Structure 1
Amino acid sequence: MPWCDRWRVTFVRSLSRNGSFDSPTRAERAVLPYPVRHPRSGACILRTPCLTVGLWFVALLTASMLADAAAPNSAIPERFVALIQDDRPSDARRLAEREYQDLAPDASMLQRCEALELIMVLFGFEPGAPDDLSARYATQSLSCWQSLPGDRARAFAVARELRQARRLIIEGKYQEGFALEAARRQEFDALQRHLPALQQSMCWDAIGNAAQWRDELEAAAQAFRKATDVLDGGASAERIQQAQMLGVLALRLERAGQLAEAMAAIDRADTLMAPPFPAPKFVRATLHGRRATIAFFANRWDQALTHADAAIALFRPLGPSVNEQLALNLVTRSNALKKSGRQADALPPLIEAIALERALPDQDLTGLAAHMNQLGTLQFELNQIEAAEASFNESLALYREALGAGKELGYPAAANLAAVLLARGNTRDARARMDTYVARAEQQLGPDNERLPELLLEQGNYAYADHDYAAAEAIHQRALRLLPKVEGVLAAQRYWHTRSLARAQHGLGNDRAAFATAVNAERQRQQLLRNVGSHLGSDHAIALQQKLTGTLDMIHALVAADPDPKRIEIAWDLEIAARQSVARLIGARLQTARQTADATTQSLWLAYEQASDAYTNATLSPASDQVAMARRREALDQAERALAAQVRAVAQALEPGADRVAALKSALPRGSALIAYVQFTQDPWQPENTGRAASEGRYYAYVLSASEPATLTDLGSGTRIAAAVGRWQESLRDPRSSALELKQAGRALRRLVLDPLSIPTQLSRHYIVPAGDLYRVSWLPLPVADERSAQRLVDTGPDVQLLDSERELRVAAGTQVADSLLLVGAPALANRERHLTGCGLAELPGASAEIDALSNLWRPEKASPSMSVLVGKAAMEPAVRRAMQASRLLHFATHTLSTQACEPLLASRSVKLIDTTATPLRPEDRGRGALVLSTPTKPAPKMNPARTDGLLTPEEVVTMDLSEVQSVVLSACDTGAGAVTPEEGAFGLRRAFRLAGARSVVMSLWPIDDAATAALMQAYYRERLQRRAEVPTALRAAALAVIAERTAAGESVHPYYWAGFVASGDWR
């Protein structure tokens, strides 16, 4: 067995299903570095399965030193340093070898020792150096120094033996290595003054490593500090050595929980290597890799990605000699993506890393085994069960080859194969395998070792799946006792244990305890999302939010079964804090960045806009492939992370603050009720990874009125409600559906989502916070509760105003006077074929008439009217963008771009993105939308294509400053469409305008009729401008006006013509 592998038998740590190791003494360190032999140079590399950090320690040399006379010289000859700084370390080492071989026959022994030392130091700068050659020169160097008399020669020999002790420890000969280190340590203390600074640094490094492997982490950190402090960073070689030792020290400090000190150390290292100093790319790349490691363990996955990407970019041009280091940073990148919820994106870098490791001439089998195990966990989380099983089995085979049979602690894949059994329904065998694995881990580590909690999480979940709730409760309680109360990677682990404990307590029938535990878990989850998500791009933050499966589903189920008023308020407070948390974070970030005038922020904002434009172009271009799309998306994510790093104080936007139920009640307008729907897509009590059928999901509804306490109602199956919404929406979208079909579909939906709430009928307004499928509901056409009546809510009231979240009730009314109006519509479409393949764009005479009518309405109502009208060729995107940011009211009467196929829906204002009859829809197209504007016949060569394509997309809207806009009316088709997630709600144009700062949005739910929409909008603005009606009152009055007009004209009064618009946000 290779010497590195024998040592690993002791130090390889148990992996949980996600593939991470634990540290020697602190459970919050998700990995323990363990030593491996570099395939060619023989240098120590600290390997972990989650992140693998190659730690290259620069050997040292004194260029000229007399045995007992002159003071030592610490500088490496500049001709060698220059080659190293030019990224040619192999050439530097070969040059030293030639000079050694060319020594004159009468050269002194001291000259030969110095030449050998020079070769050894240069090996330390050379990644991928030949292993056997390095070992041969090390032996010759020690013999040479031992042959010389005097204290200085003896000091060099002692230094060489300390490094030999370090090598013995790495080989697994730890007793021999520890003994040699202890014996030479005392002699080193007496002789170190004779050594140059570089040599002293290397000796302290060897001493620190010996202390580390004895689990003496404080002693190790002290030794690494001395290894750094003896250097002054003056000469180039010392400067590089000091930077690298600071990187080593930073890793040790981070593992000891001293994050601030670790970051300070790595900052010092970066300063030493900063321009104009010509630092080697390998050293700069290594420092980026170490910073990525520290950031990863601090839950700063944004920084882990940024620095891993920088390391990868520096390593790639250096060629095959650094393939191992390149692979390690690819693994870092994969882990950061995985931990933050982007499992699919984590696969490619991990697969590339494994391919690089397979091609290494001297494979590290345990490292490869760990990464195959990681690959299996990713595949498992992506529901690729067969592929995961194959990866686990290969990992297991590699572990056995490297460590031998029976060393179960070295076989994390053996435990993960239990997850495969569980997913296939074999609960008993899966649990037995996991129990055996944990028992062997406890035998080797001890029952109270801090490295056990990650294994215990799986063991507890398996006991729960086996309906042994008492065992599950005991296991999770034990794990929580073992977990230290510190920030870092264990914040997530503590959350998962707390969540699982609540579930076990419910299984035991102890719902009071389960509720308290679940509340604690949810608060931990929201804190974790605040701490981590505030540094991520928007899509990445949402991925993290979705990965951190909440406990709100448990909380709501428990409260619905025992609706105590105090518990209802606690649950609703948590729901309010969770709802649209990422939208609040991103909105605060964008607002802060827009209002910050310093040059750095403005430069980052420009980069963000450019990345957003590039991504928009890629998503709208039929020629874009998935690879190009991924590159553009990653560039946008990087730009958002950079902006987030600059705008630091945005996490406070996620703090719960004063938005609690008691405050909402006092803010609720008279004669109104607040209805807040909540959707959950999974059964909260279903065991993890059991392979059972997907849950139907569930809806709940909170109701608050001025005269009654808050209530919570369980509305039942999400599948039933989704089906009812679908039938209702289908009947509304088709003007040919019968009155009977409308009544039946409407009553069915009302019985599911309104009747169970028992809301007083005398209320004049409902403020509704939708969830899930309810975002697609048009409320005014619903039949009234009295089934003997033919009336609808539009006839009797109440008015309906949608809110994106409950917090909007407490938003103060706008202080700006709505004194400026922008009307945009009837665009000229010279280059529409670029994006609108397969569908023609109909003229919109109703839109033109609508704009004319609204401009005529506006002028008499304003003493000094400020109005911009951009129609036809004037509605060019650059002009529209400028006018949007200078107006208080925005009105668009145009086509909407969507991904729906061409439909013969009369004269609607909708077109599709691509020809869905010929080309499959791409994932990027689903749920997208854009307002169609005019396009230039011949765009100027230097004009940004994204700003002249005649499409105003959500990505472009978000980058605009619309903080002075009070209302946006999107008088086009399907402008309220978009994907919906349980916590974030609806995406698309509606979300984009709100993120840009607009206070309210009026939007459509289906492809609207051109002429009927023109009439509806005229009636709406009459109510708003002449009668000063609030938004929901104006919308309902406008619907009634259209019904009356069409009735008088003998036209259809189907809701298709008057019920397509809803309003969200500020209603005043």
Structure 2
Amino acid sequence: MAASEYQPPRRLARGLASLAASVLLLVSCPGALFAQDQPAAEVDRLSAQIQSLQMAGRFAEAIVLDRRRLELLEQTLGAEHPRVADSLNNLAVLHGVLGDYAEAEALFERTLALRERAFGPTHPLVAKGLYGLAMLYGARGNLTEAQPLAERALAIRRQTLGADHPLVAKSLHGLAMLLMARGTGDAAAEGYFLEALAVWKQTLGEEHPEAARSLHGLAILCRLRGEVERAEALFLRVRAIWEQAYGPEHPDVARSLHNLAGLYLDQGRLDEAKPLFRRALAIREASLGTNHPGLAQSLQGLAQLAVRQGEPELARTSIARALEIQEHNLADSLAAGSERHKRDYLQVLTAAADTAISLHLRSSPADPAAARLAFATVLRRKGRILDVQSGSLAALRAHLAPADQVLLDQWTTARTRLATLAFGGLGEEVPVAADAGAAQSLQREAERLEAALSRRSAEFVALSAPADPQSVQRQIPDATVLVELMLYRPLNLQATRFSEQFAAPRYAVYLFDGRGALDWVDLGEAQAIDATAQVFRNAVRNSALPTAELKAAARRLDRALMEPVRAKLGGRRRLLVSPDGALNLIPFAALVDEQGRFLVERFTIQYLGSGRDLLRLARPASLRRPPLLMADPDFDRAGTVVDRLAAAGKIETRAGKFDALGFAALPATAKEVAALAELLPDAQVLTQAAATESALKRSSAPSILHIATHGFFLHPTAQAENPLLRSGLALAGVNVRKSGGDDGVLTALEVAGLDLRGTRLAVLSACETGLGDVEGGEGVYGLRRALTLAGAKSQLVSLWRVEDAATRDLMVGFYRELRAGAGSGDALRRVQLTMLRSRHYRHPYYWSAFIPSGDWRPMAELFARPGRRP
């Protein structure tokens, strides 16, 4: 409807008196602020038009005018004037409504900073910015960060405006929405909704469209609880209020229609749900544009309904379009913000991906179009954040300007301080616990700097360019199969409640080759497979377990996991395996087939984070510098320190006692790197006191990075919930926390900040360097992820505590095979087969701990002196 047709609700006037307390916060006479009357008149005219367009739901048009108003205000009043912040805040709201979250966040942050400088931290206008930022974070899934902002905004408004102010009701409503989204405070959420409704009723009237927002939130809560009749009555009431206030084509009306349709879908009232989904879709497309997140929600609902109605074509086209919209929005949202924010936002979008995969595997397994859509979705989503983060750092370093270097240095310093805080404090008596408040502050600062770096790097490269099957196909070698394992939640077609929309997670696998042939298997429920995998992990790590018992455990997992895959390989023996979930922590080479053979005897296996890795690995390494070998660090009185702390009961590395870490000497590693140095004649070798954390951080992109030392992986504690802070390496001086200017504890968080853009191979010859927190779809948050983020193209890491002599022999053999022209997967397999046939090392405990990931191509040229052919 046109702006001129809009008539404000009759009850709106009742709220004006309640807003009087806020009038002094704004400029009562805009014209008085300007030196001339003409700019004032133009600002007033634009303001009236913007308000009219917003009330009519024509947000894109409102943004154009608001940009013009902002330019006029900045030219006339200056960029720091509070009136400028009003326009900035309104622009932020508009961009948020249209789903442009990255732009909205930048505008809200600028608004908040300006108002805090102008008015101080407890002004109601500051609360307005806090509230807007909190709601934006909520829409992006950053709920943990959103809640304290919303609580702070509520406290300011209560203190300055009184408990019965409409803006207090708005804050109560927003806080209730966040608590409901977190799923941990339904009772508290309902209390806030009811408190907000009481204020709305007293100030604006219970039929006011703002009051209807809290009614709508309460209806959603009832739907989540399964209170069907109450939810339906509330949705219908809200729809009537918004239609009367805004007209039938407003986006808010579409929102009520969409949620009512979802309620009917829960109940199996499919014929009633379908027209509501379609109408919501039409309104959103007309008013919000073709790429709005709300449009994707309506399409997703329509797809799920079509699956339940047995309409696979409608389901496929609807979910395909929803995924395209999400992909469009991901490109902007993943180009900015910290990794945690990106991960949270991707979690908001998982339902659409699960729907596409479920549609194929469970409803249309014979439909090639559904298969291609599902596989393309896996490639687009799995490992997406790792790809973005590694690309961001690489792009930034390749185009480093002085201002970028300052940011990068600040970010690196913040992360080092965070790691030092977690692991520092080793005193003469009892270690001092790290300060949790300081750690949280440093974490926020590191994330702020990371977000700034993301914004800078986005100018140089399209970080979120989607991976497509055709691009990946071109990178798969001949006679090789990409084995893309993934977790998904199947649609529950018998669901009667929203919480039952998806069934228990399952594992599936897609097989893809260089000819474009695609196949798949639905492997079964993840819980059962994970339990079998854990039994196998326990067995393979136990060198004392008889081989027969180990093989029985390996065979059980193989039967569930790889036997169905082998049936589709057609005799091909080279596998690029991309695990998911807990399967990231097992050595596939040690599984046992139907004939009782280990898979290493039949296949060459290289690991990937996801099939999209092939696109990154295809880019040539930019630098060529001598290898760097580090081993046998002088841990400085390690035995004394360990004995003292053990006697005091402070050595609990598995439980996460960071400040109690102490390490014993590793003289065998000196022999290991001495043998490797003969194979790498131009390598730089750092041992004993020279093998410091600072020396490693000063190095830049060695062609090969080999570190032979202690590794560790710790369980979470209050001191460090960040998984990259709980795994790492011990270097010289670690036991006294002095390592050439650092503390000697090189965490994965710090490894991610190294410059390894030209590093072809990174080998961590240490215990448990392949472990970390498993994140579905994103792999293992630990050292191997950190090495990829730093730029290393391939890695060799371990899955359990390794034996010194076996590791030395494996490493020397591995490098000899590399020098002879083998790729990392082939090189490792040849050594493993030799060990398997030996007398002492035939148990998989000795030969299967290390796994090769990343680039599989030969690298014999790295073993020649510069200027000489290998």
Relative to the length of structure 2, the TM-score reads: 0.86
The yes-or-no answer on 1:898 pairing with 2:713 is yes
Q: Equivalents in 1 of 2:399, 2:132: separation in Å?
A: 33
Q: Deviations over 1:159-199 (max 9, x none)?
A: xxxxxxxxxxxxxxxxxxxxxxxxxxxxxxxxxxxxx9545
SS of corresponding position for 1:715: strand
Residues 813 and 1066 of structure 1 are in contact (CA less than 8 Å); yes or no, is this contact kept in structure 2? no
Given residue 897 of structure 1, which amino acid in structure 2 is its aligned partner? F
Q: Equivalents in 2 of 1:441, 1:357: separation in Å?
A: 26
Q: Equivalents in 2 of 1:949, 1:1040: separation in Å?
A: 40
SS of corresponding position for 2:771: coil
Counterpart residue number, 2:551: 743
* Aligned ranges 1:768-847 → 2 under 5 Å: 768-786=577-595, 790-794=596-600, 796-809=601-614, 811-812=617-618, 814=620, 820-830=626-636, 836-847=658-669
Counterpart residue number, 1:472: 273
The yes-or-no answer on 1:326 pairing with 2:99 is no
1:668 is displaced (CA, Å) by 3.1
* 2:815 aligns with one of 1021, 1045, 1050: 1021
Q: Equivalents in 2 of 1:322, 1:841: separation in Å?
A: 50
Q: Equivalents in 2 of 1:289, 1:437: separation in Å?
A: 27
Q: Equivalents in 1 of 2:135, 2:740: separation in Å?
A: 34
Q: Equivalents in 1 of 2:326, 2:501: separation in Å?
A: 26
Residues 835 and 841 of structure 2 are in contact (CA less than 8 Å); yes or no, is this contact kept in structure 1? no
Residues 300 and 535 of structure 1 are in contact (CA less than 8 Å); yes or no, is this contact kept in structure 2? no
Q: Deviations over 1:129-149 (max 9, x none)?
A: xxxxxxxxxxxxxxxxxxxxx
Distance 1:511 1:818, change over 3 A: same
Distance 1:451 1:793, change over 3 A: closer
SS of corresponding position for 2:796: strand
1:345 is displaced (CA, Å) by 0.9
1:921 is displaced (CA, Å) by 6.8
Q: Deviations over 1:952-992 (max 9, x none)?
A: 22332233321111001111122112223333222221122
Distance 1:636 1:708, change over 3 A: closer
* Aligned ranges 1:559-574 → 2 under 5 Å: 559-560=360-361, 561-574=364-377
Counterpart residue number, 2:355: 554
Q: Equivalents in 2 of 1:330, 1:815: separation in Å?
A: 44
Counterpart residue number, 1:951: 745
Residues 436 and 719 of structure 2 are in contact (CA less than 8 Å); yes or no, is this contact kept in structure 1? no
Q: Deviations over 1:65-93 (max 9, x none)?
A: xxxxxxxxxxxxxxxxxxxxxxxxxxxxx
Given residue 824 of structure 2, which amino acid in structure 1 is its aligned partner? V
1:615 is displaced (CA, Å) by 3.5
Residues 577 and 654 of structure 1 are in contact (CA less than 8 Å); yes or no, is this contact kept in structure 2? no
Counterpart residue number, 2:3: none
SS of corresponding position for 2:757: coil
Given residue 374 of structure 1, which amino acid in structure 2 is its aligned partner? G
Residues 9 and 403 of structure 1 are in contact (CA less than 8 Å); yes or no, is this contact kept in structure 2? no
Distance 1:734 1:618, change over 3 A: same
* 2:382 aligns with one of 547, 567, 579: 579
Q: Equivalents in 1 of 2:825, 2:121: separation in Å?
A: 68
Q: Equivalents in 2 of 1:872, 1:265: separation in Å?
A: 65
Counterpart residue number, 2:216: 415
Counterpart residue number, 1:257: 61
Counterpart residue number, 2:824: 1031
Q: Equivalents in 2 of 1:971, 1:695: separation in Å?
A: 41
1:626 is displaced (CA, Å) by 4.2
Q: Equivalents in 1 of 2:405, 2:848: separation in Å?
A: 43
1:382 is displaced (CA, Å) by 1.0
Q: Deviations over 1:435-463 (max 9, x none)?
A: 33324433444333343112222111111
1:60 is displaced (CA, Å) by 5.1
Counterpart residue number, 1:1043: 836
Distance 1:480 1:332, change over 3 A: same
1:732 is displaced (CA, Å) by 1.3
Given residue 341 of structure 1, which amino acid in structure 2 is its aligned partner? G
Q: Equivalents in 2 of 1:292, 1:436: separation in Å?
A: 30
CA RMSD between the two structures = 3.6
1:352 is displaced (CA, Å) by 1.0
Distance 1:289 1:409, change over 3 A: closer
Distance 1:480 1:307, change over 3 A: closer
* 1:724 aligns with one of 513, 518, 532: 532
* 1:359 aligns with one of 159, 162, 185: 159
Which range moved further: 386-395 or 416-425? 416-425
* 1:875 aligns with one of 691, 696, 700: 691
1:1029 is displaced (CA, Å) by 1.6
1:427 is displaced (CA, Å) by 2.8
Number of matched pairs:
823
SS of corresponding position for 1:974: coil
Given residue 498 of structure 2, which amino acid in structure 1 is its aligned partner? T
Q: Equivalents in 2 of 1:956, 1:488: separation in Å?
A: 43
SS of corresponding position for 1:654: coil
Distance 1:689 1:645, change over 3 A: farther
1:597 is displaced (CA, Å) by 3.8
Which range moved further: 499-508 or 553-562? 553-562
1:356 is displaced (CA, Å) by 1.2
Residues 428 and 466 of structure 1 are in contact (CA less than 8 Å); yes or no, is this contact kept in structure 2? no
Distance 1:487 1:840, change over 3 A: same
Relative to the length of structure 1, the TM-score reads: 0.71
Counterpart residue number, 2:654: none
Which range moved further: 341-350 or 585-594? 585-594
Q: Equivalents in 2 of 1:599, 1:817: separation in Å?
A: 21
Counterpart residue number, 2:27: 56
Distance 1:216 1:662, change over 3 A: closer
The yes-or-no answer on 1:601 pairing with 2:404 is yes
Residues 315 and 322 of structure 1 are in contact (CA less than 8 Å); yes or no, is this contact kept in structure 2? no
Distance 1:836 1:465, change over 3 A: closer
SS of corresponding position for 1:475: helix
Given residue 126 of structure 2, which amino acid in structure 1 is its aligned partner? L
Q: Deviations over 1:227-271 (max 9, x none)?
A: xxxxxxxxxxxxxxxxxxxxxxxxx99945364664465356446
Distance 1:541 1:37, change over 3 A: same
Residues 525 and 550 of structure 1 are in contact (CA less than 8 Å); yes or no, is this contact kept in structure 2? no
Which range moved further: 995-1004 or 974-983? 974-983
Identity across aligned pairs (percent)? 24
Counterpart residue number, 1:509: 310
1:1035 is displaced (CA, Å) by 0.9
Where does structure 2 lack aligned partners over 5 or more consecutive residues? Answer: 1-6, 425-431, 646-656, 858-870
SS of corresponding position for 1:434: helix
Residues 767 and 801 of structure 2 are in contact (CA less than 8 Å); yes or no, is this contact kept in structure 1? yes
Counterpart residue number, 1:1012: 806
Counterpart residue number, 2:779: 985
Q: Equivalents in 2 of 1:206, 1:260: separation in Å?
A: 15
The yes-or-no answer on 1:1055 pairing with 2:844 is yes
Distance 1:684 1:603, change over 3 A: farther
Distance 1:866 1:890, change over 3 A: same
Counterpart residue number, 1:368: 168
* Aligned ranges 1:296-335 → 2 under 5 Å: 296-297=96-97, 299-316=99-116, 323-335=123-135
Between structure 1 and structure 2, the one with the greater Rg is 1
1:949 is displaced (CA, Å) by 1.4
The yes-or-no answer on 1:971 pairing with 2:758 is no
* Aligned ranges 1:72-91 → 2 under 5 Å: none
* 1:483 aligns with one of 280, 284, 290: 284
1:935 is displaced (CA, Å) by 2.9
* 1:888 aligns with one of 691, 695, 703: 703
SS of corresponding position for 1:341: coil
Q: Deviations over 1:767-809 (max 9, x none)?
A: 11111121112011111223xxx32122x22111112222344
Which range moved further: 730-739 or 813-822? 813-822
Where does structure 1 lack aligned partners over 5 or more consecutive residues? Answer: 1-5, 14-33, 44-53, 62-120, 122-195, 221-251, 859-864, 901-915
SS of corresponding position for 1:780: helix
Given residue 853 of structure 2, which amino acid in structure 1 is its aligned partner? S
Q: Equivalents in 1 of 2:533, 2:605: separation in Å?
A: 17
Which range moved further: 840-849 or 763-772? 840-849
Counterpart residue number, 1:397: 198
Residues 18 and 203 of structure 2 are in contact (CA less than 8 Å); yes or no, is this contact kept in structure 1? no
Q: Equivalents in 2 of 1:549, 1:473: separation in Å?
A: 22
SS of corresponding position for 1:1028: coil
* Aligned ranges 1:15-54 → 2 under 5 Å: 39-40=20-21, 42-43=23-24
* 1:866 aligns with one of 679, 682, 701: 682
